[in-house]
Structure 1
């Protein structure tokens, strides 16, 4: 199989992610020829641990799953991905990403990727109607789309990979 490139897969703590992230997004990405660099926000790691998903996810990547920052003396564990899919993205993570806040490893990598013109970034927010009515929600989404990020809703996780081809 031909490798399409390195895909950064990022997930944050949103209901149900531990039940579909591997089978609905990571495995289909590998089947399409992507090499994976998986990054998680710290809050979601216990969810994957409780669901016994981390080892199965790790088996899909040649790189360690990341959620902790590296020390300055440590090399980067993988090159800059060619593309990123952030799904699901919590409202908290969407806000931080729009504001350029990289207070965890996953958001730091995404913030850097947004600055790389050739790196496609797809973000699928998972936020309820109340969170989307917050007065800053549309501003955050507009900021991200203005920076070239594809912000999508109501898309099946596997269909997110199709957006990398457009």
Structure 2
């Protein structure tokens, strides 16, 4: 069983997190550890947070732990940041870890497989720095899930492309875990202790 670190930002669609992403990952027999930005934590109703904790068996994190406190989540095998706000994407690309969600993503960037779904609008994408942020993440090995961008305040409420996010997670997990199994097999075949 792999541990998927789900990181969510305060942007439209965070209210779909449980049914759109977390439950399908659990159905795929992954363990799911959820971390949210401080604003997303305020947006998620207490009953919804409780339900996320109940179905995952782990706390939903939004604050860092204190020195000496036990780690509340197991080591993460793969991250999926969805939905990720423009703020979260830009800060991740720049290496700014000013909250728990960004800290765990920044620590994993380049060393832990990662899928990011930027939930942004066309105005965000026109910012002169935006393309560079996406290029930085791609160069670090991040799989980006992109969708049709609409202008601000013209967007009708629409379902996030959870199926595409899940397909990206599945593909990256298959690639990563097959490689890990292959490496273990090679170590045993070579007389190593695997």
- Give the structure with the larger strand fraction: 1
Cα deviations by residue, 1:6-65 (Å, 9 ceiling, x for unpaired): 0001110112321x1100100000001110100000011121126x31111111212211
Task: Tell whether the 8 Å contact from 1:84 to 1:110 is kept in structure 2 after alignment.
Answer: yes
Q: Which has the higher contact order (CA 8 A, sep 6+)?
A: 1
Q: Which position in structure 2 is the counterpart of 1:7? A: 4
Q: Which position in structure 2 is the counterpart of 1:98? A: 93
2:44 is paired with a residue whose SS is helix
Number of aligned residue pairs: give it: 159
1:64 is paired with a residue whose SS is coil
Q: 1:120 aligned to 106, 113, 121, which one?
A: 113
Task: Tell whether the 8 Å contact from 2:9 to 2:83 is kept in structure 1 after alignment.
Answer: yes
Task: Tell whether the 8 Å contact from 2:110 to 2:141 is kept in structure 1 after alignment.
Answer: no
Q: Give yes or no for the alignment of 1:133 onto 2:126.
A: yes
Gaps of 5+ in 1: none
Task: Tell whether the 8 Å contact from 2:9 to 2:82 is kept in structure 1 after alignment.
Answer: yes
Q: Which position in structure 2 is the counterpart of 1:35? A: 31
Change in Cα spacing, 1:61 to 1:108, as seen in structure 2 (3 Å) is: same
- Give the structure with the larger helix fraction: 2
Q: Which position in structure 1 is the counterpart of 2:21? A: 25
Instruction: Quote the Cα distance in structure 1 between the aligned partners of 2:134 and 2:54.
Output: 33
Tell me how large the CA RMSD over aligned residues is: 1.4
Cα deviations by residue, 1:74-115 (Å, 9 ceiling, x for unpaired): 122223211011001000000000011111111101111114
- TM-score normalised per structure 2: 0.78
- TM-score normalised per structure 1: 0.90
Gaps of 5+ in 2: 148-159, 172-194
Q: Give yes or no for the alignment of 1:69 onto 2:64.
A: yes
- CA radius of gyration, larger in: 2
Q: Which position in structure 2 is the counterpart of 1:78? A: 73
Instruction: Quote the Cα distance in structure 2 between the aligned partners of 1:67 and 1:77.
Output: 11
